Amino acid sequence: MMPHPSIILVDDHLAVSEAVAVRLASAGFRVVERLESARGLIGAVQKHRPDAVLLDVSMPGPDPFEAAARVKNASPLTKVMFFSAFTNDRYIDRAIESGADGYLTKGEPFDSVVKGIEQVLAGKAYWSPPAADRVLKVQGQPPVSRLATLTPREKEVLRYLAQGINCEELAKLLGLSRKTVEKHQYHLRDKLRIYNAGELTLFALREGLIAP
């Protein structure tokens, strides 16, 4: 009989952590340790040599993304997956940079989470649909988020547009022609797949490009 895959769960919300641990156990996994932050994670990994680490992206204490990279170095056979309520582009880029094997979202059915974990343990990367939709893959190049594809000028235009400045005003402010600003606007919206002004503002707020 094959042993149940072992998992270390890292989440600062105790109620969430407890509930997830119960669901994982019922799905055939062994949660060998639960932590409230990435502090102590390397020690726990060295102690248990788990099959996987499942950790949140926004927690107090040590940076989860840096911790993920350290886990991959300390225990190369351990799979690392992020489990978050957020699919911010900046989180996705950092997850990619950390060498994570997957990115799961807390808003999806738990059966999908289980399938994602199983896929990663089988040696395949898994990104939940909301996260995967934010990732661009170009042959011969590493994957990046949609935000990362914007040029510095496009990001600058995005910040101003998100604050309600129209193209004509922005052209004067930047010393550009209105046609040039509109071209930047078209490109950034096409890259982000965001065509509504309100959604563009929400995106800029979510990604920390403008202050709330």
Give the pLDDT mean for 157-181.
93
Q: Residue 2 pLDDT more than 70?
A: no
Task: Find the range with the poorest average confidence among 21-30, 112-121, 141-150, 168-177.
Answer: 141-150
Q: Is residue 49 part of a domain?
A: yes
Given 136, 168, 194, which residue is the final one in a domain? 136
- The pLDDT assigned to 1 comes to 44
Domain boundary among 92, 108, 136: 136
The number of folded domains in the chain is 2
Q: Do 127 and 48 share a structural domain?
A: yes
- Looking at the structure, tell me whether residues 95 and 173 fall in a common domain: no
Give the domain-ending residue among 107, 136, 165.
136
Write down the mean pLDDT value for the chain: 92
57-61, 81-85, 139-143 — which is least confidently predicted? 139-143
Are 22 and 122 contained in the same domain? Answer: yes
Q: What is the pLDDT of residue 113?
A: 94
Instruction: Record the pTM.
Output: 0.84
CATH number at residue 192: 1.10.10.10
- 196 and 121 inside one domain: no
SS (H, E, C) the chain: CCCCCEEEEECCCHHHHHHHHHHHHHCCCEEEEEECCCCCHHHHHHHHCCCEEEECCCCCCCCHHHHHHHHHHHCCCCEEEEEECCCCHHHHHHHHHHCCCEEEECCCCHHHHHHHHHHHHCCCCEECHHHHCCEECCCCCCCEECHHHCCHHHHHHHHHHHCCCCHHHHHHHHCCCHHHHHHHHHHHHHHHCCCCHHHHHHHHHHCCCCCC
129 and 178 share one domain:
no
212: pLDDT strictly greater than 90: no
pLDDT tens sequence across 75-115: 999 999 999 998 899 999 999 999 999 999 998 999 999 99
pLDDT(143) > 90: no
Low-confidence winner among 39-48, 112-121, 128-137 (lowest mean pLDDT): 128-137
Task: Give residue-wise pLDDT tens across range 37-48.
Answer: 999 999 999 999
Place 141 in a pLDDT band, splitting at 50, 70 and 90.
Answer: confident
- CATH number of the domain that residue 40 is part of: 3.40.50.2300
pLDDT-derived band at 211, boundaries 50, 70, 90: confident
Show the domain range for 198: 150-206
Q: What is d(CA 74, CA 57) in angstroms, rounded to the nearest whole number?
A: 20
Q: Answer yes or no: do 123 and 164 share one domain.
A: no
